[in-house]
Amino acid sequence: MLECHWENFGGRFMTTISTDGVYLGRAVQPRVCNSDNIRALIAEQLGVDIKRVVDQSHFARDLRVGWLARLELVIFVEDWTGLELDDDDIEQISVVSDLIRLFENAEEKRNALN
């Protein structure tokens, strides 16, 4: 089952999607992008203990996250951080550290432009 719900938060939109038992929903506002915040966000959104969300945790094998749910998680983290990843980068994400590295790189690029 796939449900989409659009809400307006001060000019920015948030998507709430339910599929594979993963529920994504939070007010959209840029936040500090660091490894601890991203790990906590992953754990919260997947409903797993944060101790399971380590750099080496494989999304499919260890966290039981399918391709679509992983894509939804990336979109949610993009909304949460106010950052955006390239589509090509998303295909390279297989473990938690990949996701963290890509968002940290995106934040560095954004900060370099400012």
Kindly report which listed range (3-12, 16-25, 52-61) carries the lowest average pLDDT score.
Answer: 3-12
Sheet with 22-23: list strands edge to edge. Answer: 3-9, 12-19, 22-23
Q: What is the pLDDT of residues 49-96, one digit of tens each?
A: 999 999 999 999 999 999 999 999 999 999 888 889 988 888 899 999
pLDDT number for residue 34: 84
pTM over 0.85: no
Architecture of the domain delimited by 29-113: Orthogonal Bundle (1.10)
pLDDT number for residue 113: 85
Structure tokens at 30: 């840029």
Structure tokens at 24: 């994504």
In whole angstroms, how far apart are CA 81 and each of 23, 56, 62, 64?
A: 18, 22, 24, 24
Within 13 Å, how many C-alpha atoms sit on residue 19's CB side?
17
What does the domain layout of the chain look like in residue ranges? 29-113
